[in-house]
Structure 1
Amino acid sequence: MSDKTKKWIKAAAVRAVKTMAQTFIATIGSAAVLAAVDWKVVVSATVLAGILSVATSVAGLPEVEE
């Protein structure tokens, strides 16, 4: 595996984890206002956000550009 590929995987993973954390917190926050946290919705929205983040990273990551 090339160094550029390793850098891309690391950068994409960092972005995905950050995006997932933001989605997790936002989803719980909105559900808490409604007084009931639906954990299936929280988990599915968090996973989907991570998948979309990685898919978006395929278009390019400024951190990896040379």
Structure 2
Amino acid sequence: MKNFKVWIKAAGIRAAKTMAQTAVALLPASATISAVDWKVVVGTAALAGVASVLTSLAGLPEIEETK
């Protein structure tokens, strides 16, 4: 159970970073902050987060180092 908690924490941190990077990358596409299509930004960031968690299923180097 402890190993799962470590994995979920590491995968969550990685997914949050990926989501933030994706959201920030989409912002310059608009001329002003009021022109940002927030539904697209949030949807794309969420999809990137899901992809990150699925990729983490293959293994996380952060956890491998602690063994």
Q: Which has the higher helix share?
A: 2
Matched residues, percent identical? 58
Residue identity matched to 2:30: A
> Which residue in the other structure is 1:11 paired with?
10
Q: How does 1:1-66 map to 2 (within 5 A)?
A: 2-32=1-31, 36-65=35-64, 66=67
Deviates most, 49-58 or 23-32: 23-32
Question: How many pairs were matched up?
Answer: 64
Aligned-residue CA RMSD (Å): 1.6
User: Which 5+ residue runs of structure 1 have no aligned equivalent?
Assistant: none
